[in-house]
Every structure is written in structure tokens, then in C-alpha cells.
A and B are shown apart, each in its own frame.
Chain A
Amino acid sequence: MHVPDGFLDARTLVATAGLAAVGLGLALREVRRNLPPRRVPLIGLAAAFVFAAQMLNFPVAAGTSGHLIGAALAAVLLGPAAAVVAMTAVLLLQALMFADGGVTALGANVLNLAVIAPLVAWAVYRGVRSIAGEGQRATLLAAGFAAWSSTMAAALACAAQLAASGVVAWGTVVAAMGSVHMVIGLGEAVITMLIVAVVVRARPELVLSIDPAVRATRRRSIAYGSALAIGLMVLLAPFASSLPDGLEHVAERLGFAGRAAAAQPAPLPDYAVVPLAEASPWLATVVAGAVGALVAFGVAWFVARALAAPGPAGSRH
């Protein structure tokens, strides 16, 4: 999902760089103010760990293999602010040392993979844990669903940037990135859960002490639950079809519309690639998003059940 140089236009580059700088700046401030000094070196080493873990192969089929992205894993293991800093370091090193991911697109990549992905992961992780509780199984379920959600959020953000740059039509890129990353996100979820399960068994306090404040009452659970459900609907469904209208509207008002039209010499109606979507694009997106989220939640639930030890967390040590 690393955007290389040469794909995004100047407007998108500047906007994403600004947003990434704000997100990173807030995270750095939060770490300086609230993280105990003894955890600061861990951010650097954890960044190296994420890089190393990304090199592990997870065989899929026919000789292909997937690998970890790591934003959700970092959020679960380090907390949100430290995860933002660690993931930014990963992307900076990849761009400056290995030419992996563009230099001008660094703002966009940091925004998608180091700001949006860990923060969405953290929000979902906390949300699910506050409903499902603090046991091992709940933690794993929350980590898995958080990994899937963060992958989807990063992919959609990336799609939005490519579309805003006039490189591809919004409907095409959302359909392509969305559907591919629904599956990639499942892999990310399972890998994240497997790794968190190992860490929880060996050193439960490393995972469970990150967020000691979660003490869910039933009423709060219901509130969080409905907020999460609404949030997911907002994030996954109408987001996809309402945003381009919003973008076009803004573009028209700011006078970009002429330029955008020039960049797309023969515009097809959006969503023409997906036959189902031709009848009712909004409904199709809602259905696709909801089904994807449900499947991901189901997979996370089953894997969590299979992985969690029967006793209370950490009973093996």
C-alpha cells in the first residue's frame, strides 16, 4: 500500500503532508508528555521489530505469500501515540534507506499507514474490548477486528488520495482497493491475532497493561457498542459513495472542476466497473461494506476462540 512517487498530484501531496504532520506532531507531543521515559527506547526497537516482522512470510496459495503491515499490532502492543511514532519511523526508514515508498508521497504514506491505520486500530480495539471484556479471548477478538478495520481504513484513504489526484476514477479505485483489502485485511487480522496470542501467553502484562483503564460496565458497553456500529456504518458504507460527491462539490466551488475534467478526457459514469453497483451504487456499497465487516468479525471471533487458552490470561506462567 506504499504509494510511490509520481502518482499523486501537488494538491494531494501538500494536503496529505499537512495532515500527516499534524497527526505525527500530536503523537510526538503525547509521547513526550505522558509516556514514561523507560518506554521511549521501546518505540525505536519496536519499529525495528515491525520491520523485521514484515519480512516473515505467511504462505497463502500457489507459491504466493502475504506479510504483515503491522499498524494494528503496533497499536495493541505500544498504545496509540507510540504506535504512530513507531510506524512513521518504519515508513521513513523504508523510504530513505530502501527506496520503498515515495519521498514526495511520504506525507500520504505516513497519513495512511502510520496515522490513520494505528488510530483506527486503537479505536476499534478499545471499543471491542470495552464490550467484550478483558479476557484473553476478548483481547484477541478486538486485536483481530482492529487489524481488519485499520487495513480497510488505510486502503480507503489511499484510494481517496489516488482518486483526488485524478489518476483513477473514484468508483474504480474504491472497488479495486476495497475488495482486495477486505481479503488482505483478513490475513492481517489472523496474523495479528496469532502474534498477540503468543505475546499474551508469554508476557501477558506487555499487552494487557497498555490500557489498564478499560473497566466496562454494562451500560457503557451498550453505548460503546452502538457507537461502534454507527461508526462502522459511517466508515464503511455511505463514506464510499458520499465522499466523491462531497469532493466534487468542493472541487467545483474551488474551481478545480475544470482541471479535473481536463485530466479525465472521456469520463465513464462512476461504478461502471461493478455491475451490481450500476442499479444502486449506494446500496451496493453499504451491502458490500457490511458483509465484509461481518465476515471479518466472524473470522476474528472463531480464531480468537481457537487461540485463547481455556484458563484466565497468563495462567500458563
Chain B
Amino acid sequence: MLRDRFLSPYQHGSSAVHRLPAGAKLLAAVAGILLVVLLPRAAWGGYAAVAAGLAAIALAARADLRGMLLRLLLLEPFVLGIALLALLKPGGVPLFLSMLTKSTLCLATMILLTATTRFSDLLAVLWRIRVPALLVTTLALMHRYLFVLLEEMERMQRARRSRTFVAGRTSAWRNSAQVAGQLFVRTSERAERVYLAMCARGWKA
């Protein structure tokens, strides 16, 4: 499914790109994105060079190019939406094109990074570069329970679907809200249990 595919950006592999330390890859990706963002608007040669570099890395990673392209297409509408605003400006066409190129290159960089690096490895990097512990803990818990909650939500929706025949717009809104509200109640109950389990293992705030 498209959604499941979107939710698992990492692709297992054993290429040299996969084996590079996560910190180095994150640094390289951020440096690449900074370069693209700061390039002058008409630096088409620079854009082409970055694109060529990304393509070379993607090939070296033996990554699923089709999957990455699909992900790029899924994210492109958001980029396009903002870029279109530039067209409202007189003489905005070159601006529109260069912004679209810049954003697409940055998107491709991040897609390549996330396809070859586990999020847990990126978290470890954030921990090492001394991002505040509370924020890293929050991110780690979020990442750990994200898929648990998504599955719980899926189960609740399935249960609802199997009991409801009519789905008008109003009832669809009420049903989705019911699922979300119940999910929050269950989430806060789960958080209590997680807290007790963390305390039992010696965690201190």
C-alpha cells in the first residue's frame, strides 16, 4: 500500500553508502542542502552538478530508485503549492523554476538519506551532538510508539467499518474524531504504563 510504503522510508541494504556512519551522512546531507539553498537563483550548472552527485550516490547505494521517485512525487505537491505563489509576482517564472529545482534537489537529498540511514541511528547522532536530552527522549518515544499507535488506530477503524454501513460526510467526521479521541485516551493510559516501566528500569527525568 502507498501509505505503508510512505511510512517505511528505510531500505535495507549493505552497500558502502548504507555502511557509512550516520553522523557523516547527516552532515553531508545538511551540507548539500545548505549548498543548494545558498546557491544563486540562476546557478543551473551548480544544480546539475548536485543532481548528478545525488544520482551517483543513489546508484552506489543500489537503492530502490522507483520507490524513491514515488516518494519524491508524493511530496512534490506541497513544494509546488508554495512555488506557485511566486508565479503571482510579475516576472516570477525564473524565480518559480529555480525554487522548484532547489526544493526538489533538497527533497531528493533527504529521501536518499532516509532510504540509507535508520532513524534510530540519526537519533543516536542527535544524542551525541548534545541536543537536549528531553527532546531526544521525546523523539525516541515518539518513534518507538508511532507504529504501535498507527496499528491501534487501524484496528479501531477496522472495527468501526465492520459495524457501520452508511458513511455520509457528517458521520465520517464523527467517526474519525471518535477514533482520534479514543486513541488519545488509550495513548495517555499507555503513557502511564510506559512511565512505570521506565521507573522500574531506573529512569530519572
Contacts and interface: CB of A to CB of B under 8 A. Distances in A.
Interface of A: 2-7, 10, 13, 24-25, 28, 31-32, 37-49, 51-53, 55-59, 68, 77, 85-86, 88-90, 92-93, 95-100, 102-104, 162, 167-169, 172-173, 176, 190-191, 194-199, 202-203, 206, 264-268, 273
B15 interface: no
A28 B135 contact: yes
Contact of A6 (B99, B173, B185): B99
Contacts, number: 238
Contacts of A49: 149, 183-184, 187
Q: Which residue, of B85, B114, B194, has the highest number of chain A Cβ atoms within 10 A? A: B85
Q: How large is the interface on B (under 10, 10 to 19, 20 to 34, 35 or more residues)?
A: 35 or more
Contact of A98 (B9, B82, B83): B9
Contacts of A56: 153, 176, 179-180
Contact of B111 (A4, A42, A99, A194): A99
Contact of A96 (B83, B103, B114, B150): B114
A51 B173 contact: no
A39 B137 CA distance: 13
B89 A168 contact: yes
B202 interface: no
B194 to A, nearest CB: 5
A28 B195 contact: no
A28 B135 CA distance: 8
Contacts of B88: 168-169, 172, 176, 273
Contact of A46 (B90, B187, B204): B187
Give 9 nearest A-B pairs by CB, closest first.
A198-B181, A44-B141, A6-B102, A194-B177, A5-B106, A99-B110, A42-B191, A37-B205, A6-B103
B183 A52 contact: yes
Nearest to B96: A167
Contacts of B190: 45
B105 to A, nearest CB: 8
Nearest to A36: B205
Given A45-B191, A49-B149, A56-B180, A104 B37 contact: yes
